[in-house]
């Protein structure tokens, strides 16, 4: 990414900042808690994002938020086309400084399916990963366009 790890982390840790950076597809963000593990975050999606996501709501619970390592793990509680096929879904993002003023974001998505099959269909995997990458790209674009914010 072409923005610093500190700036991306600030957006990732703030519902208000995330909504601002992803305004094209997140209408509102509600947080129950102080951002530490156990905090529930509810994203209310725009009509266009809801059509792609298969619903207008995404609800997650923070499992880990490690400011020193810049790692966040969230359990997905509600939302998305794929969630109905799963017993559980956990996402993890890790941000690392890379180059001069840039950062590298690593994603991991763990899930357990309701049935005995091992993996989601390829199109569901692509959609799931694409949604997270879309948010990350929106955050990057917002921070590049607004260099004085979240410094």
For the chain, first and last CA: distance in Å? 16
Q: What's the average pLDDT block by block, 10 residues per block, for the chain (151 residues)?
A: 96 95 95 96 92 87 97 92 85 95 94 85 86 92 97 92
Q: What is the pLDDT of residue 138?
A: 96
To which residue do tokens 């923005």 refer?
A: 3
Query: What pTM did the predictor assign?
Result: 0.90
Residue 121: CB atoms within 10 A of its CB come to 11
Say if strands 57-66 and 71-78 run parallel, antiparallel, or are unpaired: antiparallel
Between CA 89 and CA 125 the distance in angstroms is: 12
CA atoms within 13 A on the CB side of 96: 5
- The three-point CA angle 89-91-94 to 5° equals 165
Integer angstrom CA distances of residue 117 from 85, 86, 113, 127: 11, 11, 7, 18
The C-alpha torsion from 129 through 138 and 28 to 63, rounded to 10°, is 50
CA distance 86 to 35: 25
Q: What is the CATH number of domain 5-145?
A: 3.30.530.20
What was the pLDDT predicted at 150? 95
Rounded to the nearest 10 degrees, the angle between the axes of helix 122-145 and helix 5-12 is 110
């Amino acid at each position: 990414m072409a923005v610093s790890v500190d700036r991306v982390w600030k957006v990732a840790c703030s519902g208000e900042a995330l909504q601002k950076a992803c305004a094209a597809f997140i209408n509102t963000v509600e947080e129950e808690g102080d951002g530490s593990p156990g905090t529930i975050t509810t994203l209310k999606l725009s009509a266009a994002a809801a059509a792609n996501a298969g619903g207008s709501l995404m609800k997650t619970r923070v499992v880990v938020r490690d400011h020193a390592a810049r790692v966040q793990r969230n359990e997905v509680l509600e939302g998305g086309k794929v969630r109905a096929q799963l017993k559980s879904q956990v996402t993890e993002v890790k941000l690392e400084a890379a180059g001069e003023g840039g950062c590298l974001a690593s994603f991991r998505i763990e899930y357990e399916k309701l049935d005995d099959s091992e993996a989601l269909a390829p199109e569901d995997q692509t959609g799931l990963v694409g949604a997270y990458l879309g948010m990350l790209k929106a955050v990057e674009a917002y921070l590049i366009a607004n260099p004085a914010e979240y410094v």
